[in-house]
Amino acid sequence: MDVSATPESGEVHKRTHEKRDGRKLYLYGWAAHDLPVTAELEAASPPRPHLRWHPLRGEWVAYASHRQERTFKPPAEFCPLCPVPEGGFPGEIPFADFEIAVFENRFPAFHPDAPPPPLDLPLRGGTATGQCEVVVYSAEHGGSLAVLPPERLALLVHVWADRYRDLLSRDAVAFVMPFENRGEEVGVTLHHPHGQIYAFPFVPPVVERMAAQFRDAPVLADMRQSMGEAYDIAGNEHAVAFVPPCARFPSEVWVMPRRFHPGPWTFSDEEAFSFGALLGETVARLDALYGRPMPYICCLYAAPKGEDGHFHFHVQFLPFLRTADRLKYLAGCEQGAGTFLVDALPEQMAARLREVTP
């Protein structure tokens, strides 16, 4: 399948493989993937997630008790995200090599065939229809976005665009969010470089508030215009990375396209290449800030279904270090009231991130 193309590298190829339990695996690359299947994992038990309504917060909570069984910090030789050589230990990607792989999560919080909620709930329940996917950036067990070559970063942007198009085309899906949790400090249990994609049957509260702001005005573009370049840390012709003046985390960075886009599915090939390169540079700068890999949560915010005309796509990096050896904890005020307390001024952090050498 021709997903897209770049002037530098030609077509993006996509191969679909169905796993033993019916889950889909997608292999993406600049070259066609034609390697034979090696060792497959045993079929997973059918997941049974459901939703419950939180009457005080006015939001859905997803319940997926089967996630307690997910893989927890395996040794590198048993990593389920590594390629599987002939005769090797079975993994999620039963091929000896690949460029980028995407597969349906074995332990999902949302599922296309989710059952109805339990009938005996004392409050409102809902069906957790949707999808959860894992995006594996590389066949290499080590590494990160900071060290992937530009061609691989561009491929990743094309992969996200393809998954957005597929998932948003489904009637049950209202919002799609690719994200990455990086570092044991934020709870990562697999060290192979990877991210995830959640396709929600509803628009989550944080995103609904964003969408409401974008409906009123081009708030992101307006903020960019008013702040000038004092908060910028890096950029190129098509994208810019900056510390937002309203940062809630000490070295928070946002990356956005300079032109309006509802999501990466409307990028040109040149914009995809530039955006991917800037994501890699941003992570490299965060790593260089304290001379160690920065633990973070990275979220891609694209338009929910029906919001394409005004929702400005961007990426938010939420780093969890406030010094080289001190974490930013979300304590009483942040967790209980939702009001963040920040120790570092955004303009000072922007200057520091500009000065570091990735």
The set of catalytic residues is 194
Alpha-carbon gap, residue 66 to 63, rounded angstroms: 9
Q: Identify which of 176, 344, 177, 314 has the alpha carbon closest to the alpha carbon of residue 254.
A: 314
Alpha-carbon gap, residue 102 to 133, rounded angstroms: 7
CA dist list (Å): 293 to 147, 183, 316, 321, 330: 11, 8, 17, 10, 20
Listing DSSP states for 58-95 in one string gives: TEEEEE-GGGGGS--S--GGG-TTS---TT---BSS-S
Alpha-carbon gap, residue 103 to 195, rounded angstroms: 11
Alpha-carbon gap, residue 254 to 242, rounded angstroms: 6
